[in-house]
Amino acid sequence: MGGNSNNNNISSAVGSGNSNAKLLQVLNVRVVGSGDRVLVLSHGFGTDQSAWNRVLPFFQRDYRVVLYDLVCAGSVNPDHFDFRRYTTLDAYVDDLLAILDALDVDRCFFVGHSVSAMIGILAAIRRPQLFLKLILIGASPRFLNDGDYHGGFERGEIELVFAAMEANYEAWVQGFAPLAVGADVPAAVREFSRTLFNMRPDISLFVSRTVFNSDLRGVLGLVRAPCVVVQTAKDVSVPVSVATYLKDHLGGRTTIDLLPIEGHLPHLSAPSVLAQALRRCLTCHHR
């Protein structure tokens, strides 16, 4: 850990930003749609950009939609995941900003799910001008309980989860996927299991540790962009109190959009409900 970061493999090249084209390729960046406004869809932990497939058609007419994979996604070559670089969320933010720069996006709407919501928050802090609006789905600034803050998880529980992941990843996936999807939508469970299992287990564990070690509570106030917190009625990962916490602490004008559906992955389990909600969030920014 001494920090000999002058490794010569590809992953360092990804970060250096000298080869944006390569980054776009590595992270499977896709731009679809024909609108004049740019919409970035950023998937969360355990999924990849295919998670947005069912939501995507709703936006292709009016938006230029940027899709990409987080470096930890199963669809990205695991060789690109540098365990020294992706120790904090900031590295993911670098990726996101590099992508947007490479695509010459100067302002965009950002939709982020779970981890990506955190990434979006950090990106908006770093580049306030870039983001017109953040839509945070299943977002949490901190997953662990801490004093007055109720994040939904105890450290001990989490360690158990990690241990379970470590012991038998497949079994863990089988158990976790239905829990996360929440709603009784077998197709969504199947899809989430697939993408979740696509992740290499060590990467998956590493990323979840990174996520659980992140604490954004101190910096929420730095966000200037208006935010919409999209929260489902029942989410195993994010209690509703977190949404109100976000609303209270995010620096921009923030609203909560509670969806009458269940689960942590509304874009899989109830795509059109989510799409409607997103459209609503996106269009009413003038007010």
Site for other proteins in 247-286 (CB under 8 A): 251, 258-261, 269-273, 275-276, 279-280, 283-284
Q: Is 134 in the site for other proteins (CB under 8 A)?
A: no
Backbone angles phi, psi at 262, to 5 degrees: -120, 160
CB of residue 141 to other proteins, shortest distance in Å: 9
Tell me whether residue 264 is one of the annotated catalytic residues.
yes
- Nearest Cα neighbor of 68 from 84, 92, 91 is 92
Identify which of residues 60 and 105 has a Cβ nearer to other proteins in the complex. 60
Footprint on residues 12-51 left by other proteins (CB under 8 A): 22, 25-26
DSSP 158-213: HHHHHHHHHH-HHHHHHHHHHHHH-SS-HHHHHHHHHHHHHS-HHHHHHHHHHHHT
Give me the residues paired with residue 113 across strands.
137
8 A C-beta contact, residue 141 and residue 229: no
Applying CB under 8 A, among 47, 142, 173, 225 the residue interacting with other proteins is: 142
User: How big is the site for other proteins, counted in residues (CB under 8 A)?
Assistant: 109
Q: Is 182 in the site for other proteins (CB under 8 A)?
A: yes
Could you count the other beta carbons within 10 Å of the beta carbon of residue 19?
15
Applying CB under 8 A, among 117, 185, 228, 229 the residue interacting with other proteins is: 185
Q: Is 58 in the site for other proteins (CB under 8 A)?
A: yes
Q: Tell how far CA 188 is from the center of its chain.
A: 17
**Tokens linked to 236:** 């195993």
- Give the interface segment with other proteins, choosing from 28-36, 65-73, 109-117, 186-194 (CB under 8 A): 186-194
| Active-site position among 42, 114, 208, 237 | 114
Q: Is 74 in the site for other proteins (CB under 8 A)?
A: no
Residues noted as catalytic:
114, 235, 264
